[in-house]
Structure formats: C-alpha cells, structure tokens
Amino acid sequence: MEGLKAQSVETVEPGYNAVKKGSKAEVKSNISNIQRLKRDKWLYLLLIPGLAYFIIFKYLPMWGIVIAFQDYSPFLGVFGSKWVGFENFIDFFKNPDFFRLLENTFILACLDLVFFFPAPIILALLLNELRLQAYKSVVQTFIYVPHFMSWVIIASITYIFFTTSGGVVNEIVSLIYGKEINFLSSPEWFRPLIMGQIIWKESGWGTVIFLAALASVDKEQYEAAIVDGAGRMRRLWHVTLPAVRSTIVVLLILRLGNFLDTGFQQIFLMSNSLNRSVADVFDTYVYFVGITQGAYSYSTAVGLFKAIVGVVLVLGANKLAKKMGQDGIF
C-alpha cells in the first residue's frame, strides 16, 4: 500500500518537503505533530463522517457483544443489566437445538464445498478452452446475470418454477413421474434446492477471478508444452492448473474461514415450517430467537460462538496452507 514514492519536486510546504526527501524520522524532526494536525485539519474534518460510521455501526455492535454475558433487558440497557457469565453459552450447548444447528450448518457447508466450490473452477477452465472470443463473451454475459439479482428474486423465481400449483418443473415431473413432488416444503429437497440456487446464482460470476488468473498465463508456456508433445489434457494439467492453483488455495482458505456462513438470506427465504428440521442454521436461529422472540442475550451468545469458531477456522486454514507450501492470505 505504501507504493508510489512521491518524486521530489518543488514544494510549497516544509512538511511535504520533508516527507519526500526521506524517512518518517525526518518528518518528526522537521515539524511537530501539532503542526501536522493543524496542517491537515481539513482532512480530519473530511474523515469525521466515515469515522463516525465505523464507530457507530461497526465498533459499537462489537462492544455490544458484552450482552452475551448478561441477562440483557432493553429497559435496563447494557449498563443496568445483570451479568450472568457464561450462562447463555451453557444454555445453548445444553439445548437440543445446538446439535441440530451444528449438523445442518455442517452438512450445508460440506455440500457447498463439494458441489459449489469446484463449479466456477470447472466453468472457468471450460470457458478458457473456447476458441471463439465473441462466443465466449456472450456466454459470460449470460452466466453473470444471476449474480446481480437479489436473493429475494432468486428465491421468488425458484418458488414460481417449483411450486406444485402450476410450476414448470412440477409439470415436467408429473409428466415423467406420474405425480408432483413438493420440492419447496419437503425436508429432503431443501439441500438440493439450496445447492442448485447457489450454483445458478454465483458459479458464473465466480469464474471472473479464475479467468483473470488464466489470462495471465504466459502463452509461451503453452507453446513450449506443445513442442514437448503435450496433448490437451497434459497442457491443462501441467500449465493451466498450476496457474490457478494459488487462486484456488486462497479462495479455499477464505471459504474455510467462512465455513459456518451459510448465506442467511438464502436459507431464510427458502425455509418454512415444513422443512425447518433441516433448514435451521446458526444465522437463521439467531434471527428467530433474537429478533422474533426477543432473546437478545442468548442469541448474541449464539452469534458470538459462531464468530469465534469462524476466526479459529480462518487462522487454522491459513496455517494449513502455509504448511502445504502455499502463501496463505496473511
């Protein structure tokens, strides 16, 4: 981030001059901090709205996590509510809901890793093999569309297509199978629907990052491989895949770090009273218990548990990647 060393040119103010000449130490010796604050007062003024945003909407909620250790009541506020230590966490771990949530979240996350994660990679590799550039960009234009739609639109379209009252899919199913399948409210169809939706919405867009990595492959490498007599598959294996390997690892780390993040909006919109046994995950549970039932402290504890597991996972995955000889993300 500190790139772009400013070139020394005629300057107006001593402060700027000093920075250009050299190190930070030089700045300090030339002008005092108070002078710097004074000089930049307009810049600080510009900074205020943004800073206020981060403090109010990012850091105040972080501080608000303390209610996970309280029996928070909106009337008493954070300062007046009783401290209960880890009671909310213990309640949660003892609750039979805990294992159900863990299981549902875990299964969805694994399915996501197995079915959704490779989808953009495969799609990008296939797109990359298309010879006709114009055709390739048309396909790209098509497959990026769903990414820009909201989850409500994606879920609405799913409902319209899969409903038993005149949905396209069920009309076809009843032609072949003889009767309709209640996709939207049967627990066994919940997970396939979720996977289908995410692949539809995001796998096209997911190719962007891989296509960029593939575009940076030196063409001479392919030529050299051809000279060495490598066929199409071997070029794919020895030239193309190594080019995207680090991208895959970074995305895999990020994904493992977000392992428990089963998209709230998607699951929320697709769950109903009939498929709740498989649909409830940590995020939706926090919403139902916290917002609709008003158990603020308990649901904050659930959210914090999930966030901490997330941090542990991301650090662990990063370490693992470094052990495997990859760069990691930090």
Partner 1 sequence: MSMPKMHNTPAGRVFDVFNFILMGIIGIIMVSPFLYIIAGSFATEAELTRRSFFIFPETFTLTAYQYIFSTDTFTRSILVSIGVTLVGTLVCLFFTFSMAYPLSRKTLMGRNFFMNLIVFSMLFSGGMIPGYIVVKSLGLLDSYWALILPIAINPFNLIIVKTFFQNIPIELEEAAKIDGCSEVGIFWRIMLPLSKPVLATFALFYAVAIWNDFFSALLYITDSAKWPVQVLLQQIIILSQAQLGDAASTSANFVEPPDQSLKLAVVVVATLPILIVYPFLQKHFAKGMLLGSVKG
The distance of closest approach from Cβ of residue 137 to partner 1 in the complex, given in angstroms and rounded to an integer, is: 10
Centre a 10 Å sphere on the Cβ of residue 255 and count the other Cβ atoms it contains: 18
Q: How far is the CB of 219 from partner 1 (least distance, A)?
A: 5
Which residue, 4 or 324, has its beta carbon nearer to partner 1?
Answer: 4
Residue given tokens 């770090």 in the structure block: 257
Nearer to partner 1, 61 or 118 (CB): 61
Nearest to partner 1 of 214, 278 (CB atom): 214
3-state helix, strand and coil shares in percent for the chain, rounded to the nearest 5: 75, 0, 25
Nearer to partner 1, 86 or 144 (CB): 144
Instruction: List the Cα angle 240/241/247 in 5-degree steps.
Output: 110
**Exposure pattern of 113-134 as b/e (b: 16+ CB <10 Å)?**
eebbbebbbebbbebbeeeeee
Q: How many CA atoms lie within 13 A of 13 on its CB side?
A: 10
Strands (E), the chain: 70-71, 82-83
Q: Classify 31 as helix, strand or coil.
A: coil
| Both tokens assigned to 100 | 């159900």
Minimum CB distance to partner 1, residue 276 (Å): 15
Smallest distance, partner 1 to C-beta of residue 37, A: 6
Least Å distance, CB 140 to partner 1, is: 8
Q: Minimum distance between the CB of residue 191 and partner 1, rounded to whole angstroms? A: 18
Between CA 237 and CA 243 the distance in angstroms is 10
Beta carbon nearer to partner 1, 110 or 187: 187
What phi, psi does 70 have (nearest 5°)? -125, 170
Asked if residues 278 and 104 have their Cβ atoms less than 8 Å apart, the reply is yes
∠121-126-127 over CA atoms, to 5°?
A: 95
> What is the rounded CA–CA span in Å between residue 1 and residue 209?
21
What span, in angstroms and rounded, lies between the C-alpha atoms of 200 and 328?
29
Pick the closer one to partner 1 by CB: 110 or 172.
172
To the nearest whole angstrom, how small is the minimum distance from the Cβ of residue 65 to partner 1?
6
Place of tokens 């392919």: 222
Q: With contact defined as beta carbons under 8 Å apart, do 198 and 112 qualify? A: yes
Provide the minimum distance between the beta carbon of 303 and partner 1 in the complex, in angstroms, as a whole number. 4
- The residue among 110 and 308 lying less far from partner 1, judged by its C-beta, is 308
State which residue, 118 or 231, has the beta carbon closest to partner 1: 231
